Chains A and B, each alone.
Chain A
Amino acid sequence: MKLKGAEILLQCLQKEGVDTVFGYPGGAVLPIYDALYKSEIRHILSRHEQGAAHAADGYARATGRVGVCIATSGPGATNLVTGIATAYMDSIPLVCFTGQVGTSLIGRDAFQEADITGITLPITKHNYLVEKTEDLARIVKEAFYIARTNRPGPVVVDLPKDVMEKEIDFEYPEEAINIRGYRVVKGYNSNQVITAVDYIQKARRPVIYAGGGVISSNAAEELRELAEKRKIPVTTTLMGMGGFLGNSYLSLGMLGMHGTRYANYAIGECDLLIAVGVRFDDRVTGKIDTFAPHARVIHIDIDAAEIGKNVEVEVPIVGQVKEVLAAINQRLEAIESEELNEWHETIHRWKEEYPLRYGDSSEGRIMPQHVIEEVYSLTQGEAIICTEVGQNQMWAAQYYHYKHPRSFLSSGGLGTMGYGFPAAIGAKIACPDLPVVDIAGDGSIQMNIQELGTAVQYRLPIIICILNNHFLGMVRQWQGLFYGGRYSYTDMSHQPDFVKIAEAYGAIGRRIKEASQVREALEEALKVKDRPVVLDFWVEREADVYPMVPPGGSLMNMLGGD
């Protein structure tokens, strides 16, 4: 069959099971958009390419499938960069198609030419420039394969315009992918598994430290079994939220800089640390040589390069988290009921002594944490919560109890302000039946507020809760704590009327200033079925996120929350 490059591209997408793409057109991708015009693939038109990239990312996180976005050459492609870097840092499978000038113009500084494969080299798992239409199908197939297998990540495929226009005789390459330098990790070292089982059975004070790898490997069930079989307390990273039932008696909540005191203390005292799908990030470990000082460490991860990168490990196990946990569980004997009593009592004491808590507001103002508690109370862990970055993000992690994997979407590694709302769009498109809430800050929401246009166009009932402190709150908090209270350029009092902005876009907007109205406002918002709702909660301006490990400090020395 004679097909144009652009038509081949769409056929390949369908072969990959793609039914939705996020994108924004332009000159270099005209052939692709012309093919989309007749295609069954649904294209969601964002209002900025960054929005398209984050939406594809939100779609991927919510479903576990590969997210797809399209942008034109030059500025379209460079606008994707933050979205690609965000996905890269959090190991999210994306395939990003960028338009490129015609092959004869490449390298000549042609109109809207940007070296996007060069630019994205350090922020992609891999990238391709397709030089011949004949190579296109193989490359697209490889791109999806690489994006979703092993440690997932974003792949960029750069598509010169003439490669998309050219017509060739086409037959889909059915043969299996064979990339010499890339093999999918299969199996694991069973001796290490046996050692791990032995360590786990002997441990008196074990803790599981679970991260994003549990989510991407779909291993929440295996993790639950491991924890329950041996009654091991579990703390999760920001990326691991939802990987373990947040309100289980074994849950310690989040660890690290803004983790709970009891999670961090448990790390400090444990004799065995079972690290599952994590990378010992500095926001988690604090001062690295005081992290889990008394523990032997078992580290399970798909990426061999993560093992031994930041800490020495006694039992390294490279493999699919799901498979490895299943293997451990199979060999593990269920615990005698009293074996770990002492440890549980210690933890229980910490929980009683240092629960997450926050102060009262002045003059009936809304406490930001209270908004999150009400969101939880009304959705009971059955919503998808997206976050922006800053205090809003930390409170969303602390005060909502996540029940399901893929229900907490947040930019953990890169910390991208402006991520949450477009990610919510992707999540809502993927999961139309679940409530989707973006916990936002007044600063962050302005970074991609144009996506209200997208959410209204596609009638997406997303609830945006702006925890409006009229500050770049997290930065202000650090200025307060570490820079003598000099609030240098963090006052955001000059801001638009978010209610009017919402209305101008055709969304619903509402401002809430009284604590007593928080619940009712959320209830009303949850009833809306056909458009986004912006809830502008004016919260206590100078509330801080606590407890906190000061940067570079030890997890045992937390500020606040005591």
Chain B
Amino acid sequence: MKKHTLAVTVENRPGVLTRVTTMFRRRGYNIESLAVGATENPAISRITIEVTGDDRIIEQVTKQLYKLIEVIKINDLTDARSVDRELVLIKVKADNSVRAEIVQIVDIFRARIVDIGRDSLIIEVTGDSRKIEAIEDSLRAFGIIEMVRTGKIAMIRGGK
């Protein structure tokens, strides 16, 4: 079992996302994360899906996705040379005694503080999964109040 990142190119039409998620639900595959957005072509959207499974499951997922009429192309970016990013907002407990320490962590990870509350900070961080996990680990000790992630997006490197 391994986490795969699938880049699914689809027609930009209402209902396409429902078709994709319905297929996952119906066949019992679990979506770990999902991000949808426009591409350079307004008629086409990109759905980036993270799904965990062995080779056989990923093969079935891919084949079943291809059967959806509005799915144009699927790339498994897992082993490909690719860049992936995710944006995360983390609200962390931060009274005066620890603020300096948190600011230091934020600097190390090249994250940003986007809101300052009386006892908390909101931190914005962008990066690949490893970086996100690392900052999450570092901040956990202070008390994470809330965290949201956009879901991963990814792209193959080079001219392809």
A interface residues with partner B (beta carbon < 8 Å): 117-118, 121-122, 125-126, 146, 179-182, 303-305, 308-309
Q: Cβ of B11 and Cβ of A121 under 8 Å apart?
A: no
Chain B residues with CB under 8 A of A118: 18
A-B contact pairs, 26 of them (CB 8 A): A117-B15, A118-B18, A121-B18, A121-B19, A121-B22, A122-B22, A122-B26, A179-B69, A180-B72, A181-B10, A181-B11, A181-B68, A181-B69, A181-B70, A181-B71, A181-B72, A182-B69, A303-B67, A304-B66, A305-B64, A305-B66, A305-B67, A308-B56, A308-B59, A308-B60, A309-B60
Is B63 a contact partner of A304 (Cβ separation < 8 A)? yes
Q: Complex: how many Å from CA A514 to CA B21? A: 57
Chain A residues lying within 8 Å of B26, measured Cβ to Cβ, are 122
Chain B residues positioned under 8 Å from A303 (CB to CB): 67
Contacts of A179 in B (CB 8 A): 69
* Closest Cβ–Cβ distance, residue A368 to chain B (whole Å): 37
Across the A-B interface, the 10 shortest Cβ-Cβ residue pairs: A305-B63, A126-B69, A181-B72, A182-B69, A180-B72, A181-B71, A122-B26, A304-B63, A121-B22, A181-B70
Q: In whole angstroms, what is the CA distance A118 to B60 when docked?
A: 23
Shortest distance from the beta carbon of B24 to any chain A beta carbon, whole Å: 11
Minimal Cβ-Cβ distance residue in A for B43: A180
Bound CA span A179–B71, Å: 10
Kindly list chain B residues whose C-beta atoms are within 8 Å of the C-beta of A125.
69
Apart from A118-B18, A180-B72, A305-B67, 13 more pairs, CB < 8 Å:
A126-B69, A146-B69, A181-B68, A181-B69, A181-B70, A181-B71, A182-B69, A303-B67, A304-B66, A305-B60, A305-B66, A308-B59, A309-B60
Closest to B14 in A: A129
Chain A residues closer than 8 Å to B71, beta-carbon distance: 181
Distance of A118 Cα from B56 Cα, bound (Å) = 29
Q: Which of B43-83 contact A (CB under 8 A)?
A: 56, 59-60, 63-64, 66-72
> Please, how many angstroms separate the alpha-carbon atoms of A179 and B72 in the complex?
9
- The distance from the CB of A309 to the nearest CB of chain B, in whole angstroms, is 6
Interface of B: prevailing SS: helix
> Considering only CB atoms and an 8 Å cut-off, how many residues of chain B contact the other chain?
20
Tell me which residues across on chain B come within 8 A of A305, comparing CB atoms: 60, 63-64, 66-67
Tell me which residues across on chain A come within 8 A of B18, comparing CB atoms: 118, 121
A125 and B67 CA atoms in complex are apart in Å by 8
Q: Which residues of B contact A122 (CB under 8 A)?
A: 22-23, 26
In-complex Cβ contact of B11 among A146, A180, A304, A309 (8 A) = A180
- Of the listed residues A146, A181, A182, the one surrounded by the most CB atoms of chain B closer than 10 A to its CB is A181
Cα distance A548–B61 in the bound complex, in angstroms: 34
User: What chain A residues lie within 8 Å of B11 (beta carbons)?
Assistant: 180-181
Distance in angstroms between the alpha carbons of A303 and B64 in the assembled complex: 10
CB of B108, distance to nearest CB on chain A (Å): 44
Cα(A118)–Cα(B19), bound, Å: 9
Closest A residue, CB atoms, query B70: A181
Residues in chain A near residue B60, CB distance under 8 A: 305, 308-309
Residues of B within 8 A of A117 (CB): 15
Alpha-carbon distance A533/B70, docked complex (angstroms): 47
Interchain CA distance A146-B68 in the complex, whole Å:
11
**Bound form: Cα–Cα A430–B26 in Å:** 35
Complex-state Cα separation, A122 to B68, whole angstroms: 11
Residue ID in chain A nearest B16 by CB atoms: A181
Name B63's closest neighbour in chain A (CB-CB). Answer: A305
Residues of chain A contacted by B63 (CB below 8 angstroms): 304-305
Q: How far is the CA of A308 from the CA of B19 in the complex (A)?
A: 23
Contacts of A182 in B (CB 8 A): 69
What residues on A are CB-neighbors of B70 within 8 Å? 181
- In the bound assembly, the distance between CA atoms of A125 and B18 in angstroms comes to 14
- What chain B residues lie within 8 Å of A126 (beta carbons)? 69
B68 proximity list for chain A (CB < 8 A):
181
Closest B residue by C-beta to A142: B69
Residues of A within 8 A of B22 (CB): 121-122
Q: How far is the CA of A305 from the CA of B59 in the complex (A)?
A: 8
Shortest C-beta distance, A118 to chain B (Å), equals 7
Measured in the bound complex, the distance between the Cα atoms of B15 and A146 in whole Å is 18
- Closest B residue to A127 by beta carbon equals B15
Measured between beta carbons, the chain B residues less than 8 angstroms from A121 are 18-19, 22
- Nearest chain A CB to B126's CB is how many angstroms away? 31
Q: Determine the chain A residues whose CB is within 8 A of the CB of B67 once the complex forms.
A: 303, 305
Complex Cα spacing A303 to B10, Å: 20
Q: How far is the CA of A146 from the CA of B69 in the complex (A)?
A: 9
Which B residues lie within 8 Å of A146 (CB)?
69
- Closest chain A residue, CB of each to CB of B19: A121
A306: nearest chain-B partner, CB-CB: B63
Distance A126 CA – B13 CA, assembled complex (angstroms): 14
Q: With a CB–CB cut-off of 8 A, which chain A residues contact B64?
A: 305
Residue of A at shortest CB range from B10? A181
Q: What's the minimum C-beta distance from A386 to chain B, rounded to whole angstroms?
A: 29
Q: Which A-chain residue is minimally distant from B68 (CB atoms)?
A: A181
Q: Taking CB as reference atom, which chain B residue is nearest A126?
A: B69
Most chain B Cβ neighbours within 10 Å, of A179, A180, A182, A309: A180
* C-alpha gap A305/B22 in the complex (Å): 17
**A126 CA / B70 CA spacing, docked (Å):** 9
Nearest residue in B to A122 (C-beta to C-beta)?
B26
A107 to B77: give the CA distance in the assembly, Å: 38
In the bound complex, how far is the Cα of B59 from the Cα of A304, in angstroms? 10
Closest to A117 in B: B15
What per-residue 1/0 map shows which CB atoms of B70-107 lie under 8 Å from chain A? Answer: 11100000000000000000000000000000000000
Once the chains are docked, how many angstroms separate the CA of A179 from the CA of B13? 13
CA distance A117 to B16 in the complex (A): 12
Complex alpha-carbon distance, A304 and B65, angstroms: 11
Complex Cα–Cα for A341 and B11 (A): 56
User: Which residues of B have CB within 8 Å of A309?
Assistant: 60
Q: Which of A125, A303, A304 has the most CB of B within 10 A?
A: A304
Docked complex Cα distance between A305 and B19 (Å): 17
B140-153 interface code vs A (CB 8 A; 1 in, 0 out): 00000000000000
Complex interface: chain A residues within 8 A of B56 (CB): 308
**In the complex, what distance in Å separates the CA atom of A304 from the CA atom of B60?**
9
Nearest residue (CB) in A for B25 is A122
| B113 → chain A closest CB, angstroms | 41
Complex: how many Å from CA A121 to CA B70? 13
Give the distance to chain A from B114, nearest Cβ to Cβ, in Å: 36
Assembled-state Cα–Cα distance A117/B22 (Å):
13
Q: How far is the CB of A310 from chain B (nearest CB, A)?
A: 10
> Could you tell me the distance in whole angstroms from the C-beta of A147 to the nearest C-beta in chain B?
11
